[in-house]
Structure 1
């Protein structure tokens, strides 16, 4: 076995082989893959082999789309048939709400280039008469989809990898990882079969590897412990059953082709043909997590006992949908572990806190994702970034606060949510509330309907005071749900009066020390602010795209307070720490503190916000303390609001006169009560994240994770004013080399009367797809829908007429000026 390689891939399932293949294809010839047992002996061997193209995640959709196309090319390259049956994928809908979901899916599919067709119940019945259709609304059909033999496709990728120079070693278990400053030393133990068990021998080898990728499937918890990190990847039991041959199906097949993969999402199952019978795969409630603390040594290619009572409801609905199956017996059953994560998406990217360690774990749809994961992860490793933004799959989207109990319960929820209605405003209930700011109970009593951001409870909007806890679920819709009017009132309150937003979930860091100023000047794109001032700036990837957005408050000559997106706390912290470690010797000593949990944040905004704060501020001349002269826009001051010391920042994400009030979190309830009391004479209204999202689009404020990401530069995002090209900064040369491939624009939408875009829709010029929305919503200022997105540079001029796909129809949109509401910032600079 080799003892020194460029890249070591740990795990010989479909995902691991896909990564090894693509690393070699990308030019890394010295790659080795280790498997502790036999190739495909993990979850790969008992996977059903489905290839669903449907996904609301832009990154995951690209991954699945690449896989489907790639698998079709494997036989020509390797001579091995991957067992791909291109029978299509039919997703049936029993309700109009499910059809609404499919219409949103379809528009997202168009942004990726995935083909689809709509089918009526009559058309379904005509083509596949064994399917009962009288209680269906319709279906969406993907003709290029189907299913594949998991073992065959894995072996084909393994052969392709070997042909490109990859070494594959079986029966080697990794028992230790040690970083040596420029490479990993990986301790490997030879495994042997003894009496049907896999046991460790005394033979050990240490492999030196510049890069390591773990794709260890159900063994992700063991891998995490060896690396000294936390991972939310924990398996859940998944059952599927195989029936005896169905005589009516056999008769049908004498004159017809194979059925597509059938999915009745409302019944929570998939079905496909299998040797004249059927495979039924349910996604039932109460499927338990397993192996929370690691896979037992005795568990190899094993299964759990079948629990038919757990899937009785899904089994009966299968018989209802395909009546010919009622008299057919069961031939075989499978109940095996499939790894999940709390949001259902895999963990793909750099491991937190480690150099040259890459994770590819937590794949609940590993066969579908294996090829695409290999392709895009290889781009990240070889070229520095992938061509699509992979941040939504980054392992650091889950912080170190995630415990084993949390991950297990959320993964069970993720499993039974596979086929629920995935509203774009979906909020899942398991393990909540967990992280709450002190004012949580006060806001809940005032009607707050909460969303979850990095575990924090954050108000989405404020509903009726007498509503039960279920109101938010009942209010959801693919159109304008029952929450919409509440959010609209909140948006108008900020535009016309004053509103208060809980922004405690913001990520907050303090950077100080002799090297801090020089480091931040190199690390970010904008000029650094003077002491007491703030600026908006960006940190870039090495590839020149946007890695993080920061609001920087300069507290002293070498002391800075950094504010970034609440959802990305661990993601931002990891990036900062790594950059500081690389540059301390060059720039000088620095100290970084994550103070997210130490400070609460309220954002007060609106024409009357100065009046509310003026009633609370302790100052010799309170009538002028908040004036432009004494407290100018884009500045920060330490003020006292009655008994609460507060770092006030004059900035507002809503585009109105306003301040962010960063305060000791232990004083939050006191400050909340004071603000509510002072605001009462001025009609202060509590405001949630949804209204804020609409308002920031009226100001064309880009948001990280939507308009801002690792697939576009700040210049492409239209943020030239925050990029100082007169200085050198990290990623500058790469950014300039990219040029302008597309441009971020704001669009006003004349859409349907009962719906707004969600930010996942395709944009068209005539019949040509020319871009996509990244954000969407309603504009209270213009009384119509609004969106932001990316288009070809030649279509980015204000006044350009385009079309957007909403609810399977094209609606007119117009590119508007940046910051269509108050483009001169007169309201935000308002004096008093």
Structure 2
């Protein structure tokens, strides 16, 4: 057994073997360790489906890579992975479901995934066994299908060995030790005893630079070995296999092709052919989480008892959809654990708090994602960054507040929602409210309809009491749309207040803080009492983090980043500071997110509202441009609340962010609402704010800004100081301009706006994609931000955007089409 390697992969399912394959392909000396046999975890009982359909841009790329990669394995290894390219037919019973497919199809187009549209009559013509009279239509993927999980895993394993990887079976990892800047993987060899696989006496150690865990149902155990908790908890998934269906047997005997994988999303199941019969896989309500506290040592390739009553509704709907199955008996059944996460996406990327330790856990569609995960994670590890933005999969997107109880309930919900309509304005209810700002009840009493960001309840919009947010959701303009319009108009015309408490907030200070932040970020650091918007780059030169930096003192900085990125950014700041302390001096990083609440007050009347409350010797002049200029910060007293006021507004109007002690929030809220009443103050939610920032061409981290674009490609030249050295600068310059970020006004449909997932076309050719979308109250039409070929970025360029299966005219406009000279935001008074 080898004692040294560049990388050790723990876990021999499809995901772990793919990672070993791709690391070996990249030239890394790689070892894979499996406690049992390859595929002994969830891989062995997976149905092997390869659905390309996914609403995530990043996950779509991962699945697309997998499907293409698996088709190459036989030529490389001589092993047939068992890929049946029968296609994937996703049926719709409602118009809303067809709208969902239309939004997905535009995302697929932006990735390059082919889709076809079928009417009920065309479905019936191709597959007469399927009942279609109650369908609206279907979307069809001709290039995917299903695969044999064991065969594809063994093919990847052979490919990995051919490229130099070593694979050891029946070896259990018991711990990881950090020793001299390297990892030591410790474990024991397993032996058979009394029908069980148990650890033997023989031990081993492997010294390596990097460790990757792909341990499936055992993820919590392996993460705990390095002091981490990750919310990867399995949920029971059942599927049944029928006896041969005589009608299907006759259909195939007549020389007809195999049915595609059939999905009746509204009935919550998939069906595919299996040796003359059918496999039914439901995603029912009430499927329980399991192994909440870890997998028992005795659990190997085992299953749970079947619970047919739980899937009776889905079984009966299969009979309705394929009437010939009514008299067919059951041949086999499976009820096994499949890992989930609270949002359904896997955990792929660096482990928080430790160096060179990587997770590839929480895969609910592991066989589908295995190939692409291995490819893109290997890029992250060997090249410093992947070619796609992996932020939505990063393990650190879940904060330290997440525990087992939360994960179990949210994972059950994620399972149940596999086939529930994925509205872009979807807000799932489980485990809520949990993290609430003090003013939560006050906002709720005023009609707040909440969304969730990193567990925080944040108003999306405000509506009359009794309004049903769930019924208001749509793939078009939902029932909430007119309320968001009025909120946006209030900020443009009078004043609005937004709860921004969910912002992530850090204090970075100490003798080395200035040199550290100057190296870490690409913009000039602000002077004391001033602020700057800046970006930390990846080693590959793309955008890692967006930050607003407030300089409180020469070596004391208040750093504000995206609310969803609290743990993601904290881990980044801490790890980078630890690397640079010897060079720059002591650097202290404090996460102070929960110490401060934030209200964003914006609009032409915002100064008048603050003047009602400010305690100052000369309140009339305390907020003028001379005393309080744009992009500056001051501590002011608003009544009895000492507040760090920052003169900036994400909406592009005169305004301030008011950072205050969170325990005083209700007092400040009440005073602001009282003072604002005569000035037209309206509470405003995140959806109106999102529209307003697009009118100013303000990019949003996580959508418009990410690890697949540089600041220069994002059009952020004014925030990049090319006179200084900073992390990722040389890599950024070497990439050049591959695409350009633009703002577009869109002549779209009367009842819909883009969501930021749509493809952009020029003369029928895909030339880019939207990353944000919405409605502009200033221009009375749809608006979007996206990336296009650099030669198409000039204002006045005519493009088209695909929405609801049609092409709509769009025009690239100047940066900040609303108030391009910033006269309103700099307004004096």
Instruction: Write the deviation string for residues 20-56 of structure 1: whole angstroms up to 9, x where unpaired.
Output: 001111121x111000000000000000000000111
* Partner residue in 2 for 1:613: 610
Q: Give 3-state SS (helix, strand or coil) of 1:152's partner.
A: helix
What does residue range 543-562 of structure 1 map to in structure 2 within 5 Å? 543-562=540-559
Q: How many angstroms does 1:169 deviate by? A: 0.3
* Partner residue in 1 for 2:23: 23
What does residue range 304-453 of structure 1 map to in structure 2 within 5 Å? 304-453=304-453
Q: Give 3-state SS (helix, strand or coil) of 1:785's partner.
A: strand
Q: How many angstroms does 1:364 deviate by? A: 0.2
What root-mean-square deviation, in Å, do the aligned CA atoms of Structure 1 and Structure 2 show?
0.5
Q: Give 3-state SS (helix, strand or coil) of 1:748's partner.
A: strand
The answer on 1:475 being equivalent to 2:472 is yes
Partner Cα separation in structure 2 for residue 629 and residue 227 of structure 1: 53
Partner Cα separation in structure 1 for residue 568 and residue 790 of structure 2: 30
* Partner residue in 2 for 1:534: 531
The answer on 1:100 being equivalent to 2:108 is no
* Partner residue in 2 for 1:508: 505
Partner Cα separation in structure 2 for residue 113 and residue 194 of structure 1: 51
Partner Cα separation in structure 2 for residue 732 and residue 605 of structure 1: 35
Partner Cα separation in structure 2 for residue 519 and residue 213 of structure 1: 29
Q: Give 3-state SS (helix, strand or coil) of 1:790's partner.
A: strand
The answer on 1:755 being equivalent to 2:752 is yes
* Partner residue in 1 for 2:238: 239
* Partner residue in 2 for 1:168: 167
* Partner residue in 2 for 1:126: 125
TM-score with structure 1 setting the length:
0.99
* Partner residue in 1 for 2:688: 691
* Partner residue in 1 for 2:135: 136
* Partner residue in 2 for 1:671: 668
Instruction: Write the deviation string for residues 128-165 of structure 1: whole angstroms up to 9, x where unpaired.
Output: 01100000000000000100000000000000001111
The answer on 1:113 being equivalent to 2:112 is yes
* Partner residue in 2 for 1:47: 46
Partner Cα separation in structure 2 for residue 590 and residue 31 of structure 1: 36
Partner Cα separation in structure 1 for residue 9 and residue 191 of structure 2: 20
The answer on 1:296 being equivalent to 2:293 is no
Partner Cα separation in structure 2 for residue 292 and residue 225 of structure 1: 13
Q: How many angstroms does 1:180 deviate by? A: 1.8
Q: How many angstroms does 1:400 deviate by? A: 1.0
* Partner residue in 2 for 1:212: 211
Partner Cα separation in structure 2 for residue 415 and residue 103 of structure 1: 23
**Which aligned segments of 4 or more residues in structure 1 are displaced greater than 3 angstroms?**
none
* Partner residue in 1 for 2:736: 739
Partner Cα separation in structure 2 for residue 286 and residue 69 of structure 1: 35
What does residue range 458-607 of structure 1 map to in structure 2 within 5 Å? 458-467=458-467, 471-607=468-604
Q: Give 3-state SS (helix, strand or coil) of 1:551's partner.
A: strand
Partner Cα separation in structure 2 for residue 535 and residue 674 of structure 1: 29
Q: Structure 1: state its 5+ residue gaps.
A: none
Q: How many angstroms does 1:224 deviate by? A: 1.4
Q: Give 3-state SS (helix, strand or coil) of 1:411's partner.
A: helix
Name the stretch that deviates more: 272-281 or 514-523. 514-523
Instruction: Write the deviation string for residues 98-144 of structure 1: whole angstroms up to 9, x where unpaired.
Output: 00000000000001100010000000001101100000000000000
Partner Cα separation in structure 2 for residue 625 and residue 222 of structure 1: 57
Partner Cα separation in structure 1 for residue 26 and residue 807 of structure 2: 39
Q: Structure 2: state its 5+ residue gaps.
A: none
Instruction: Write the deviation string for residues 295-333 of structure 1: whole angstroms up to 9, x where unpaired.
Output: 101100000000000000000001000000000000000
Partner Cα separation in structure 2 for residue 456 and residue 127 of structure 1: 49
The answer on 1:228 being equivalent to 2:227 is yes
The answer on 1:727 being equivalent to 2:724 is yes
* Partner residue in 1 for 2:637: 640
Partner Cα separation in structure 2 for residue 193 and residue 396 of structure 1: 38
Instruction: Write the deviation string for residues 709-751 of structure 1: whole angstroms up to 9, x where unpaired.
Output: 0000000000000000000111101111111000000000000
Partner Cα separation in structure 2 for residue 293 and residue 222 of structure 1: 8
Partner Cα separation in structure 2 for residue 590 and residue 218 of structure 1: 38
Instruction: Write the deviation string for residues 364-385 of structure 1: whole angstroms up to 9, x where unpaired.
Output: 0000000000000000011000
The answer on 1:765 being equivalent to 2:762 is yes
* Partner residue in 2 for 1:12: 12
Partner Cα separation in structure 2 for residue 719 and residue 791 of structure 1: 15
Instruction: Write the deviation string for residues 637-681 of structure 1: whole angstroms up to 9, x where unpaired.
Output: 000001111000000000000000000000000000000000000
Name the stretch that deviates more: 221-230 or 267-276. 221-230
Q: Give 3-state SS (helix, strand or coil) of 1:597's partner.
A: helix
Partner Cα separation in structure 2 for residue 230 and residue 824 of structure 1: 48
* Partner residue in 1 for 2:35: 36
Instruction: Write the deviation string for residues 377-412 of structure 1: whole angstroms up to 9, x where unpaired.
Output: 000011000000001100000011100000000000
Partner Cα separation in structure 1 for residue 198 and residue 465 of structure 2: 61
Q: Give 3-state SS (helix, strand or coil) of 2:225's partner.
A: helix
Q: Give 3-state SS (helix, strand or coil) of 1:615's partner.
A: helix
Partner Cα separation in structure 2 for residue 302 and residue 235 of structure 1: 14
Partner Cα separation in structure 2 for residue 539 and residue 137 of structure 1: 48
What does residue range 258-297 of structure 1 map to in structure 2 within 5 Å? 258-297=258-297
Partner Cα separation in structure 1 for residue 180 and residue 704 of structure 2: 36
Partner Cα separation in structure 2 for residue 47 and residue 466 of structure 1: 44
Partner Cα separation in structure 1 for residue 369 and residue 465 of structure 2: 44
Q: Give 3-state SS (helix, strand or coil) of 1:815's partner.
A: strand
The answer on 1:808 being equivalent to 2:805 is yes
Q: Give 3-state SS (helix, strand or coil) of 2:24's partner.
A: helix
TM-score with structure 2 setting the length:
1.00
Instruction: Write the deviation string for residues 486-518 of structure 1: whole angstroms up to 9, x where unpaired.
Output: 000000000000000000000000011111111
Partner Cα separation in structure 1 for residue 728 and residue 164 of structure 2: 33
Q: Give 3-state SS (helix, strand or coil) of 1:794's partner.
A: helix
Partner Cα separation in structure 2 for residue 377 and residue 310 of structure 1: 37
* Partner residue in 1 for 2:818: 821
Q: How many angstroms does 1:561 deviate by? A: 0.2
Q: How many angstroms does 1:591 deviate by? A: 1.2
Matched pairs, number? 828
Q: How many angstroms does 1:466 deviate by? A: 3.6
Partner Cα separation in structure 2 for residue 473 and residue 644 of structure 1: 37
Partner Cα separation in structure 2 for residue 517 and residue 465 of structure 1: 49
Q: How many angstroms does 1:463 deviate by? A: 1.0
Q: How many angstroms does 1:8 deviate by? A: 0.4
Q: Give 3-state SS (helix, strand or coil) of 1:206's partner.
A: strand
* Partner residue in 2 for 1:146: 145
